[in-house]
Amino acid sequence: MKRSQILITGASGCVGQYITYWLLNNSEADLVLLLRDKSKLNSVNPNNPRIKLLIGDIRNSELFADDLSTVTQVIHTVTAWGDPDRAYQVNIKAVKKLLKLLNPEIVEQIIYFSTASILNHELQPLSEALTYGTEYIQTKAQCLQELENHPLAEKIIAVFPTLVFGGRVDGKSPFPTSYLTSGITKAIEWLWLVRWIRGYSKFHFIHAEDIAFICGYLSTKPHSLNNQTKQSGIKRLVLGQPHITIDQAVDTLLKWRGMGNTLRIPLHNWLIRILIKILPIQLTNWDHFSIKHRHFNHDPVTTPETFGGLSHAKTLRDVLRNAGVPKR
């Protein structure tokens, strides 16, 4: 029996490398890795006989048409932000081009990576994402909207990661350091100030290793619609641990660094508006929307435990330990 061929786009990125590593060690599938820079692939041996490298830009996927026509599974992690034109080309146009190159008679499943920011509390598309979102948010929202009517929609599972941690702050991990993990050190520098403020906001997070487990499970085990949600069309899974508050996160960082707690000034919306006027801060329409609607929490969220696994980083304390954040 021929082995599965799993295409992983963005395979040299943080999440892409965790997924590749998991599949090499927990499945028998052959892996087709689409990436731009082979030198960044440090977590696995690129010469492994189960690995085939497709080196190039996702926008030029037609160059790999023959290879893409034989894959049985797709895990699409590639994304772009910052430049509106590039975001549109990568987050929308390249996705549709990639799907056209797949053989609908062979491909069994497509795991499409989006972002939890475009969904509301009940995992339904957030209309404000198209209206107020950054180029990244808008293109992700538009792509999901278009995929709902795609001929391959029934084979698509859209995953929506929340805040993603991965790698280490000291660079001593074979996996790339996620943007959020890289920012922990900077956040610690501001603890002296933020410990005086009460934030009133909720959020989810997830570690890239836990994302890898979920995607690996979905790629190697029978699965069905997430029956916990009232969703139609494309299957939607928000990846994240149960929500915590900003204040809980600050408390965890303070304890980790051995710093004392203080009385906190409530950061009400009226105070935020005053600070925005006083301080030299430039905010986007999405920033204003996010400030007004502070609680980006979802129900349900998907963790490794959803599929009988164990989370690598279930708490923020686990995240700090795994990231190698110094305690002093």
Rounded to whole angstroms, the Cα distance separating 17 from 23 reads 10
Question: Kind of pairing, strands 51-55 and 163-165?
Answer: unpaired
pLDDT (mean) for 303-311: 97
pLDDT recorded at residue 291? 67
pLDDT at residue 4 tops 70: yes
240-255 confidence digits (pLDDT tens):
999 999 999 999 999 9
pTM of the full predicted structure?
0.93
Rounded to whole angstroms, the Cα distance separating 71 from 32 reads 8
CATH superfamily name and code, 5-166+204-242+298-312: NAD(P)-binding Rossmann-like Domain (3.40.50.720)
Q: What is the CA radius of gyration of the chain?
A: 20
Please report, for the chain, the start and end positions of each structural domain, with discontinuous segments joined by +: 5-166+204-242+298-312, 184-202+244-292
Rounded to whole angstroms, the Cα distance separating 219 from 229 reads 21
24-38 confidence digits (pLDDT tens):
999 999 999 999 999
Helix (H) or strand (E) holding 181: helix 179-182
Rounded to whole angstroms, the Cα distance separating 113 from 10 reads 11
Rounded to whole angstroms, the Cα distance separating 95 from 108 reads 17
Kindly report the CA angle at 15 between 187 and 304, in degrees rounded to 5? Answer: 95
pLDDT recorded at residue 228? 46
Rounded to whole angstroms, the Cα distance separating 159 from 115 reads 7
Three-state SS string across 56-78, please? CCHHHHHHHHHHHCCCCEEEECC
Q: How confident is the model at residue 273 (pLDDT cuts 50, 70, 90)?
A: low
pLDDT (mean) for 286-307: 83
